[in-house]
Amino acid sequence: MSQARLNVRLLSMTPDALSVIYAAFRQCYSPGYVGELWPRLVGGEVDVAEQARFVADVMESGHHSPVEHVSFTFAVEGVSRALTHQLVRHRLASYSQQSQRYVNESGFEYVLPPQIAKIPEARELFEEFMARTAQTYGRLRELLQAHGRKGAKANEDARFVLPQAAESKIVLTMNCRSLLHFFALRCCERAQWEIRAMAKKMLVICQEQLPVVFQHAGARCVGLGYCPEGERFTCGRYPLQPKPSQSGG
C-alpha cells in the first residue's frame, strides 16, 4: 500500500479545434455554407491569428454554444473515489472508470488529505485504518473464493469495505463549454481541495492547447472580477459582488 499521486494526461482533443470553432461561429452569422470555407481554413489560407481574434470577439459577446463542437479527453490517476463521486455529477461528459468489481484492490493505493497529513497522530490513525482495511478486504476475498465466489464475484462483494480514500483511475471527455462550466465551479476555493487540484491541472492543459477559449477560464471570480459567493463563503481573493444601486425618484 502507498499514497497515490495525482496525474492528469491529455489523451486527445478535436483536430483543428480552433478552425472547427471558427467555422461554427461563422456559420451562425454567414448566409454562405462553411463547408466550402473549410478547405481554406485547414489549408492555411485564413490566418490562424484572424480566426482566434474572431472567436475571442464573439465569445466576449457571450455567445458560447459553438465551442461545444470541440472536446478534450483526459486520463486521470491518483484520485479518490470521493473525487470521482463529485466528478460524475457533471452530466454533460463521458466517463470510463476503473472498476472495483473487475480489478483486484488488494494493496490498494489511497489519497491522504493534506490536513490529515499535517497532524502526525491523525496521519498515523489514517494509515493504520487503510492497512486494516486492506487486510480485511484481502481476507474477505479469500473467504468468498473458498466458498465458490471466484474472480470478479469475490471482488464485487469484498469491495464494500473499501474507503472513499481508495485510489481510482478514470478517463473523461468534456466539450469546451462543459469544461468552462467545470472550471468555474471546481477551480473556486470553495471547491473540495482534491477536485480543485485536478481541475487546475486540466485547466493548464486546456490553456496550452486552446488559449483563445480558455485564456480567461477558471473560478467564476476570474471572469467576473468580483466574488459571487457572498460574504459568508468568499475567500477574499476578489471583492464581493457589487450591490445594485438604488436611485431615488
pLDDT, tens digit (0-9, with 9 covering 90-100), for 133-189:
999 999 999 999 999 998 899 999 999 999 999 999 999 999 999 999 999 999 999
- Single pTM value for the model: 0.92
Task: Give yes or no: 186 in active site.
Answer: yes
Torsion of Cα atoms, 193 then 194 then 200 then 201, to 10°? 150
pLDDT in tens, 67-110: 999 999 999 999 999 999 999 999 999 999 999 999 999 999 99
| 229 vs 236: CA distance, rounded Å | 10
Amino acid letter, residue 245:
S
Each domain of the chain, given as residue ranges in start order, spans 101-165
Distance of CA 44 to the CA centre of its chain: 33
Amino acid letter, residue 86:
Q
Residue 182 C-alpha cell reads as 467545470
Q: Which of 186, 196, 220, 237 is catalytic?
A: 186
